[in-house]
Every structure is written in C-alpha cells, then in structure tokens.
Amino acid sequence: MKFIRIAGLYIFIASVVLFSATLFMGNYSLTETSIEQTFSDKKARVTETFAKVAKENGVLDKTYSNPFSFMSDVKGLFEKHNQQVSKDIAKEKGISSEETEKLIAAATKNGNVVYTKEVVDQVLSGEKAKTLDQSTNWMYSPGKTYDSVETFQNDLTNKVNDANRNLAKEFFLYDNKYSRFDITKAASSGIIVENKGLFLFLTFGLGIIGSLMFIITGLFLKPIPGIKNNGIYLNNATNRGWVGIVVFGFLVIFYVLLYFHPYVIVNWTSIVDPVKALFIENGSASQWFVYGLLYTVSMTVMAIRMFIKYRHNQYQIVRTAVVLAFQIIFAFLLVEILPLFDLPGVDLKNAWPLDYNFLTDWNVKNYLEAGHLGKFMFFWGIILSLILVPVLVYFYGKRWYCSWVCGCGGLAETLGDPYRQLSDKRLIAWKIERWTIYPVLVFAVIMTIIVGYNTYYVINAPDIAAANQNEFFGINAYRINEWYGFLIGSIFAGVIGTGFYPLLGNRTWCRFGCPLAAYMGIIQRFKSKFRITTNGGQCISCGNCSTYCEQGIDVRAYAQKGQNIVRSSCVGCGICSAVCPRGVLKLENASDDGATRHKVPEVILGNDMDLFEMLEENK
C-alpha cells in the first residue's frame, strides 16, 4: 500500500512538472491564417493592414520557440498597425500633409496667425472641413492668439493628426492582455496543439490518478477513523519548509500569469480545448476556462481527501459535499451552460460585494438584454446580497456561505486544508485583520456606489453619462472599478489569497480581505443565532482547536473560560470542534438571547470559586 502511495506522489509530481513544461513546448508563428482567425469579428481592412505591417517588420511567418520571444516582436505591431491604418485612411478621406501646409500658409500673414473658419473653408470642403472645424474651432482667432507661427503650426498639425486618427478609429487594435492572448493562441502550433487529448491525459489525467492513489491509500494505511495530524509541523510541505515554498512559488507565478500575462499560458488552454468542446463544438478555451477547470478538479480531488480524513464526522462530510456541489454546478457547469441559451454566464451564488462587477454597465446590460430570465438573474443578485445573505447569517451565522457555498471558501476548505494550522493566532494578526478587511468593505461600497451611479446613466441617459465623463464626485467609474479589480480582485484575492496558502494559511483572503466576509461578520457578531458553545470544564487546554482554526481565532482561550465564541471572523468550518479530543466545542444556532450570547461566565475553572458561598446561593 505504501508503494502505491509513493508511486501516486511521483505520478502527481511528474504531471505537475509536465504541465509546467508545456508552457515551453510548441511553436508560435504569425501567419495570415492566424491573423484572420484572431480578428475574424473585425473588418477585412484590419486583417489586411495587420498582415502588411507584420510582413514589413519581418514578423509574418517567422517561427518562435516560446511565447516570450513571440510577444516581444508582436506587441509593437498593434501601434504600428494603428499608425498605418491612420495613414491609409487619411490618404483616402482624411486631411493630407499638403492640405495641412495650405492651411498654415492661409492662416499666416506677415508673421501673424489669423486662423478662422473662413481659412478652413477656403482650403477644405465637405466632411473634411466639418471634421477640422469640430476639432479646431477653439483655435480660431481672435479668441486665441499665438506667440509664434511655429506654435500654431505644431498645434494644428497635432490636431490634424488626431482628426485623421479619429477617422481610422474603427479599424484600430488595442494592445492589452486579451488581444495578446488571442493572437498568441491563434499563432500556436506544434506538439501540444496536435496532441491535445494526450496532453490532457498526461497532465490533468495523471495528476488526478496520482493524487487519488496517494489519498485513497490513506484509508488502508490509517484504517481507524479519526483525525491524524501527526507530524504536521515536521513536514516540509506543511510547516513552511522548502516544499511549501516551492508550492507557494508555483501558485504565485500561476496567478500572476493568469491575471496579467495570459498569453504565456495559451498551451494550457489548448490542453483543455477538448473539455471546452464538450460545451461548444470546436470551442476554444480561454484562460478562465483553464482556471475554472483546474479549480474544480483540485476541489474535487481534495474533497475526497476530506471525506477520508474526516470520515467519522458527519458535519464535515455533508459540508464538504455541499460546497463541492455548489462549485461544480454553479461556478463551473452553469457558467458554461447558461451562455448556450443566450444568458449571461455568471456564477449565481457569487454575492455582492464579493462579485464586485455586479453593477458595472456591461454586466447590467448583459442581464437586461437577456430577456425575462436575464432580468430575473439580475434581481436574484440583488435579493441574494441584500436579503438572503443577512437573513441566513442571522439564522445560521456566516458559515452558511463561507463554509457551505462560497467558491473561495470551498477551495480553502479542500485544497487549503493541509495549511490551516499556519494561520497566525497572535493578537497583532487579529488587529491587522480588522484594519484590512473593513477598509476593503468600505472601498467596495464606495466603488459600487460610483459604478452603480454611472451604470444608471449609461443605461437610461447615455448623454448625461458622457457629459459627466462617467464620473461621480470627480471619480471615474471605470478607473475605480479597474483599480479595485487589480488591487483587491487580482492581487489580494488571487495572488495573495491563494498563493500564500503554504505560508499564511488557507483563509488569508477570507480573513483579511473579503468584503462579503466583513459584511456578514458584522451581522454575525451583533445579530445572529450562531455561536460556538464551550463546555469549559472539560477543556484540557491541549490547544488543538486554536492550532487548527484557519481564521486564527484563539479558540482555547474561550474554551478555558467557558465562554461562547461569537467572533465576526468565524466561518463555522467546525474543525475546532472536530479536532477537540474532549468534545468541548459545539456549533449551535440557538435562540438569539442578546447579551448572554457573548457573556463571560463568572466561574468555570474554579480558581476564584467560593464553594460555601455557592452552596448558600444554591448554584
């Protein structure tokens, strides 16, 4: 059995090494076909000009052995394409350099500049005169004066260039992570693209088989049910040792590539194309599909580990099964299936403010343009965040979401379970937690107000939105949403939240950053039936509960005092109760009896006990 376990470990490691190595396999070549494929939804002029520019710069049909060298040559082509297309359009219907010179000559008399509408009409006619009038009427004399002819010449030339660029705007291409990804994927070829099914088996398939061999043998090697965390602080993988640091490095690099440089991981998307094809014929997987699949597979495999590890504990088995089902059905399958019915592919259990894009104009439009069901989904989002979340937190505490429904929580409770003991239990960590999580909530609320205000006008009165420049109190709605997405959505929730599992524990994001956890935490702390009751007299102060509390709550301190645990950060995972050897802790939804819910009992340990007095009082 031990042999199978070790073989499983090696198979899993081999699959991860191969998965990483695939990034450096295959070739990348920008051909006319790959350009057409990338810009298939754009006008013919775009593909023609881009191909022409690529050819002139020696990039067309050139073969690269990795995405980095490919992109270092291709990224400059976007701007060159825009310049070329502006030049071509200017020649066809724009203002030429000869006409610009004539304008300057007509506006300059004896070294003085007199630029007026008459000058424009004298040199140009029709659309050209109209375009220039619109973009330069603020330069007309006598309102505007010039120090020298050169100043006027520069201003006018710049404006003419701008006007010409505007005419060509519909053919422009923008250099961003999405266009880089699309063009790299279309340009990729070679061993991965030609053997997608084989690599899917060698990476995902063997990874699953190896992990299951490692996990399931645990049933036979540790046949007696019960939690065995033996040696957890002596293991390099779980005590911030070198294995943990390697996993940390892998996760951080993975998230950085996923969020900021997806073009590097096009081979991973090619590997999972056959899975995407199950939803859409010949579908091409995006980086988000790879992420969703990897997320769901990791959760499923590690949920099996949870079922085995906690097989004596019904709460843990049911909770793990439910959170896994929510991930598979809501966060993965429905997100892929809904768009097949022209509905927005959204995760219906993702509540605001965790879903920080909920009120963005594009998201609301997606809902409203998707018929009655789309509108229903929009109202479902509002009801979920504003009614269901607080009501269910009142009855069950925030555990109903954090430990039973949420995707972030689901990953933390499965993939992150081996790291739960790494959460910081010091008071300073508790302080930092309060100084980070509530400001994130405030940031989320302010951002949502600004974005919601803008969305209202974009949808109902686009002219007013444009006149406001999409601003509210001087803050641009798109910019603040972008910054929130970058700082909180990508860096905090992704890179730090999951990347730091092996160093800071599995609930770093839920504890220090999640605005939804903060929102629910306030309700849980002040108005909820949920508490963990403690039978203090039974506590032997072993500290298991505090050690395995992923939220860094010093559970033992409460147990020693026989005090109920009513903490806003408690996600109700139940592990403290599961690891307690004395049955001290119980997660309960009792009646909401106000102050007594978090009252400290006077006597539990007996240190200050006056037995005679108690006898007299018949306690």
The residues of the shown chain that bind ligand SF4, judged by CB under 6 A, are 532, 539-545, 549-551, 553, 555-556, 559, 565, 570-576, 580-582, 584-585
Q: How far is the CB of 503 from ligand SF4 (least distance, A)?
A: 19
CB closer to ligand SF4 out of 247 and 566: 566
User: In the bound complex, what is the minimum distance in angstroms from residue 234's beta carbon to ligand SF4?
Assistant: 20
In this structure, are strands 188-189 and 471-472 parallel, antiparallel, or unpaired? unpaired
Q: Which residue lies nearer to ligand SF4 by CB, 197 or 537?
A: 537
Q: How far apart are CA 96 and CA 87, in angstroms?
A: 9
* Nearest CB to ligand SF4, comparing residues 402 and 444: 402
Residue 50: CB atoms within 10 Å: 28
Question: Using the 8-state DSSP alphabet, how is residue 379 labeled?
Answer: H
- Residues 216-225: b if buried by 16+ CB within 10 A, e if exposed: bbeeeeeeee
Assigned token pair, 393: 């937190």
| Of 8 and 574, CB closest to ligand SF4 | 574
User: What radius of gyration do the chain's Cα atoms show?
Assistant: 31
- Rounded least distance, CB 231 to ligand SF4, Å: 18
d(CA 608, CA 348): 54
Which lies closer to ligand SF4 via its Cβ, residue 269 or residue 551?
551
Q: At closest approach, how far in Å is the CB of 534 from ligand SF4? A: 6
User: For 340, which DSSP code?
Assistant: G
CB closer to ligand SF4, 187 vs 553: 553
Are the C-beta atoms of residues 229 and 579 closer than 8 Å to each other? yes
Alpha carbon distance 269, 196 (integer Å): 10
Q: Measured from the CB of residue 390, what is the shortest distance to ligand SF4 in angstroms?
A: 19
Residue among 515 and 562 whose Cβ is closer to ligand SF4: 562
What distance in Å separates the CA atoms of residue 147 and residue 113, rounded to the nearest whole number?
A: 9
C-beta of residue 50 within 8 angstroms of C-beta of residue 77: yes
CB 177 within 8 A of CB 252: no
**Which sign, positive or negative, has the C-alpha torsion 122, 125, 131, 134?**
positive
Cβ-based nearer residue to ligand SF4, 215 or 580 = 580
| Residue 243 vs 557, nearer CB to ligand SF4 | 557
Bridge partners of residue 64, in order along the sequence:
28
Tell me how far, at minimum, the Cβ of 568 lies from ligand SF4, in Å. Answer: 11
Query: Smallest distance from the beta carbon of 403 to ligand SF4, in angstroms?
Result: 8
Q: Which CB atom, from 264 or from 565, has the smaller least distance to ligand SF4?
A: 565
Cβ proximity of 106 and 113 under 8 Å: no
| 114: number of Cβ within 10 Å | 17
What is the residue-wise DSSP string for 481-535? HHHHIIIIIIIIIIIITTTTHHHH-TTHHHHHT-HHHHHHHHHHHHS-SEEEEE-
Closest separation in Å from C-beta 324 to ligand SF4: 18
Three state DSSP letters for 193-211: HHCHHHHHHHHHHHHHHHH
Minimum CB separation of residue 186 from ligand SF4 in Å reads: 46
Residue 488 is given by DSSP the state I
Q: Smallest distance, Å, CB 540 to ligand SF4?
A: 5
